[in-house]
Chain A
Amino acid sequence: MENSPNSRSSLSETHFVASLDETPLQETDSVAEDSRPSNLYIDAWRDVRSRPLFWISGVFILLIIVVSIFPGLFTQIDPRLCDLGQSNAGPSAAHILGTTKQGCDVYARIIFGTSTSLTVGILATIIVTIIGVIFGALGGFFGRWVDAILSRIGDIFFAIPYFLAAVVVMSVFVQYRNVFVIALAIGAFAWPGTARILRGQVLSVKNADYVTSATALGVGKFTILWRHVLPNSIAPVIVVTTIGLAGAIVAEATLSFLGVGLPPSVMSWGNDISAAQRDLRNNPMTLVWPSIALTSTVLAFVVMGEVIRDALDPKARARR
């Protein structure tokens, strides 16, 4: 209370006006006209583009794809031309990674086995995605009895461990063991996870105002599902799919290793690892090389999935 009454009243009743130069007035609600278009996917692409991990895993995945389509470009040696006299030989100029017990070239077998692993992985993932998206999207979007039926079917499949189921299926279809059957066996039991994720997303997106707006504008139900709901809820499925692909490759190798996967006549990393385990003591490298191929492929897909997950989640992007 040390202030004199005069200064007090002047303090409380002055009318301060800032000069206009200090804060130039902008037009209300002006548009930034020169910025580039951006939405979730465009932003995600811009984000991903600047990440070295994306390029490393991307180039590796691309390499694997090229190898599996044109294995002849990477080796001149016929992996089926095995010389028993060269059994378990170490690395040499002719066989840079050495030979197996049967005298087959390890490097050539890895190169020619790539397409098996990748095909199984991709096929299984396609099956998982198709079934998962149909079940998840329809169940979430239409709700009520549709959802009840689809979700219960999903629950039944979810309750069966998919690997165990694949073992059983493969044991039953002994004479039909090929790439397609094994992909089907893996895919048929792995989709409920995808369906659940998508269903949850669809449930939240379908209540968005833009869906209501579209209905009121006269847009049909399936068009809304296809053009508004799915694109806005598919992002987590993309992530799960990329990581799931790695899982399917591992599953094939494991089934083959256990002897319930592909027949020994089919070249695959799983079969090679399985055959090599008997010589683990005297020639461990025949086991190590295909394992490295398997691990690095799986790692590439998992890393790619992680990078995409980060890019599609704007909150994670802001935190970095």
Chain B
Amino acid sequence: MSQPTLNNPMDDRRIGAPLLEIRDLQVAFATQSGMVPAVNGVDLTLLQGETLAIVGESGSGKTTTALSVINLLPGAAQITGGSILFDGVDLTKLSEKELEKVRGKQIGFVPQDPMSNLNPVWRIGFQVEETLVANGKATRGKDARAKAIAVLEQAGLSDAKDRMRQYPHQFSGGMRQRVLIGIGLSSTPKLLIADEPTSALDVTVQRVILDHLAKLTAESGTSVLFITHDLGLAAERAQKLVVMYKGRVVEAGPSVELLQNPQHPYTKRLVAAAPSLASQRLQRSSTTISTPDLRNDEGVDVDLVATAEDRAARAAKALTAPPAVQVENLTRVFQISSGKLRSEPFTAVDSVSFSIAKGTTTALVGESGSGKSTVARLVLKLDEPTSGRIVVDGRDLADTKGKDLLALRRRMQPVFQDPFGSLDPLYNIGSTIAEPLVAHRVGGRREQRARVLELLDQVSLPKKLVDRYPNELSGGQRQRVAIARALALKPDIVVLDEAVSALDVLVQAQILALLGELQSELDLTYLFITHDLAVVRLIADNVCVMRKGKIVEAASTTEVFDNPREQYTQELLAAIPGAGIKLGV
């Protein structure tokens, strides 16, 4: 086999002897029905100064593998076999006392959720000092304080001295993650384990944080074990990838090689389904660089590039259609109470205007707090605008009341983000999908039943599911049910509020493909609310980029991606994970 030419600038830097060697690791969870294996014979080798990413879906065992290195496994889990050699010492054989000396000092850890991993009742400064003292890097008092300030400064926090006295709730998510990274690196460990360190953050923040993390670890020669579900992100940030599936390693190797030449069918699936990569591939299909064509590969059921291309071809015809939804100068001002009796106005949506042609998809993209979900609520008339107009099929939403409103609700249906929250746990699937039919008194019992079965078929769910309950379904299946419910009344317009954001990549790809098919089949108009530009690239005809309640850029998708005019849009585009990968020869 010929070695691929690696074009990664990180490669020639401080790669040394193996630092961490995991051999045939077995981890099992004790359950009522005996020991259930979660990790099944994992092997991996991490060299000094190297960054290695473990990629996999939820439940693949990636976090369990990483946590077993420092034995922070949850109570029910147990290492049942194999060895973890760290610097020549088998960590699985160490006592709790001996492990404490390794944790923090030699192996740093950055947890997933910056919101819950800082104690809300202690000042930031105290929490950093505590770590330093516990790891013997400082003595209590002035010394610890000075060093803590240095740690925060190094983590990239401005005014570190003043920040020391603040509490976690006064920090944004990105700042908290910086603190956690600072704590993780405070005693210059040889190895840093970062468990999805940025999955809760906005993309632009994610990029800045990861850049900073890369800089810090490169300076100190720290190895990084990076856990993520995002293949694009992993390939961009690590030299080596380990793909896990059902507790096993299915493929491992250099990042770029793995992306360009995936061998295992599961890796192929992942490459085909990752929006960040697909959006890249879409971009590049117009240029010269060749990428694997996976659409007809065995085992791969969804290739997002193919989905996106098919969809775009169909929707192109519809672009000149009359607008289904027109939003003019929409403004929503909230009164935020800021003390005892006073309240301050907060403009969540600031004179937003756009229109969606019938049968097309318009995406509203923005980071958290940009007002995109408020727009969705206003369009769905779940909230009243402060000023401005929303016209749906020629009717002003403000004047629609009573019967007309009911009729309007029939034509415009929502699908929400959280597949676990949007279905009533006490309603079985049949009743859930039939609910809009019952509410609008469409048909008799038997016709409703028939329609439910037809809808289940449309969203590719087995008919047997009618008398099951939501807690028995996976996130993707629940989201299919939510889509079926939205389609029950044969609406023209579907508002998708982050409808695929909470799903695993493979499931997400399936749902995106399903949405594309349904659009062409039923001539649907989509308003697609998301924070993920990569997904937008694949599903939308037009894009409105929102920031702080305003639309900063609105154009066709190709224009926005090929030719972004606003600086903010450019930043967003650059922050798509995987945007920095240099694919190709």
Closest-CB distance, A189 to chain B (whole angstroms): 32
* Partner-binding segment picked from B101-109, B177-185, B458-466: B458-466
Task: Decide yes or no whether B440 CB sits under 8 A from chain A.
Answer: yes
Task: Decide yes or no whether B329 CB sits under 8 A from chain A.
Answer: no
Look across to chain A and name the residue whose beta carbon is closest to the beta carbon of B273: A28
Are the CB atoms of B436 and A28 closer together than 8 Å?
no
B477: chain A residues at CB < 8 Å are 29, 31
Are the CB atoms of B439 and A219 closer together than 8 Å?
yes
Closest-CB distance, B344 to chain A (whole angstroms): 21
Look across to chain A and name the residue whose beta carbon is closest to the beta carbon of B464: A33
Closest-CB distance, A46 to chain B (whole angstroms): 13
Assembly CA distance A23 to B380 (angstroms):
45
Assembly CA distance A214 to B462 (angstroms):
24
Contacts A8-B15, A11-B45, A28-B301; A16 near B482 (Cβ below 8 A): no
Look across to chain A and name the residue whose beta carbon is closest to the beta carbon of B240: A12
Task: Decide yes or no whether B264 CB sits under 8 A from chain A.
Answer: yes
Task: Decide yes or no whether A218 CB sits under 8 A from chain B.
Answer: yes
Task: Decide yes or no whether A3 CB sits under 8 A from chain B.
Answer: yes
* Partner-binding segment picked from A106-114, A175-183, A205-213, A256-264: A205-213
Task: Decide yes or no whether B253 CB sits under 8 A from chain A.
Answer: yes
Task: Decide yes or no whether A1 CB sits under 8 A from chain B.
Answer: yes
Are the CB atoms of B416 and A25 closer together than 8 Å?
no
Are the CB atoms of B426 and A40 closer together than 8 Å?
yes
Assembly CA distance A29 to B50 (angstroms):
34
Assembly CA distance A15 to B461 (angstroms):
37
Partner of A1 from B16, B462, B485 at Cβ < 8 Å? B16
Are the CB atoms of A39 and B471 closer together than 8 Å?
yes
Closest-CB distance, B398 to chain A (whole angstroms): 17
Partner of B435 from A1, A208, A214 at Cβ < 8 Å? A214
Assembly CA distance A277 to B16 (angstroms):
89
Contacts A16-B253, A29-B506, A232-B425; A39 near B469 (Cβ below 8 A): yes
B414: chain A residues at CB < 8 Å are 213, 216-217
Task: Decide yes or no whether A6 CB sits under 8 A from chain B.
Answer: no
Contacts A3-B18, A12-B240, A13-B3; A218 near B436 (Cβ below 8 A): yes
Partner of B428 from A20, A27, A37, A213 at Cβ < 8 Å? A37
Contacts A12-B50, A32-B472; A217 near B265 (Cβ below 8 A): no
Are the CB atoms of B251 and A16 closer together than 8 Å?
yes
Contacts A11-B18, A213-B422; A28 near B510 (Cβ below 8 A): yes
Closest-CB distance, A44 to chain B (whole angstroms): 12
A23: chain B residues at CB < 8 Å are 245-246, 248, 250, 266
Are the CB atoms of B263 and A25 closer together than 8 Å?
no
Closest-CB distance, B243 to chain A (whole angstroms): 9
A11: chain B residues at CB < 8 Å are 18, 45, 47
Closest-CB distance, A295 to chain B (whole angstroms): 35
Partner of B409 from A2, A17, A40, A217 at Cβ < 8 Å? A217
Task: Decide yes or no whether A265 CB sits under 8 A from chain B.
Answer: no
Task: Decide yes or no whether B392 CB sits under 8 A from chain A.
Answer: no
Task: Decide yes or no whether B111 CB sits under 8 A from chain A.
Answer: no
Interface string of B435-465 (1 = CB under 8 A from A): 1100110000000000000000000011011
Task: Decide yes or no whether A35 CB sits under 8 A from chain B.
Answer: yes
Assembly CA distance A66 to B110 (angstroms):
63
Are the CB atoms of A15 and B382 closer together than 8 Å?
no
Are the CB atoms of B462 and A31 closer together than 8 Å?
yes
Assembly CA distance A82 to B198 (angstroms):
83
Are the CB atoms of A212 and B18 closer together than 8 Å?
no
Task: Decide yes or no whether A228 CB sits under 8 A from chain B.
Answer: yes
Task: Decide yes or no whether B257 CB sits under 8 A from chain A.
Answer: yes
Look across to chain B and name the residue whose beta carbon is closest to the beta carbon of A215: B382
A12: chain B residues at CB < 8 Å are 15, 47, 50, 239-240, 254
Partner of A18 from B50, B249, B426 at Cβ < 8 Å? B249
Are the CB atoms of A35 and B16 closer together than 8 Å?
no
Task: Decide yes or no whether A231 CB sits under 8 A from chain B.
Answer: yes
Closest-CB distance, B439 to chain A (whole angstroms): 4
Task: Decide yes or no whether B216 CB sits under 8 A from chain A.
Answer: no
Q: A14-B253, A212-B422 are in contact. List 10 more A-B contacts (CB 8 A).
A: A11-B18, A11-B45, A13-B254, A15-B254, A15-B258, A16-B251, A18-B251, A31-B477, A213-B485, A214-B439
Q: Nearest 6 CB-CB pairs, A to B?
A: A15-B253, A209-B421, A218-B409, A39-B469, A209-B422, A17-B263
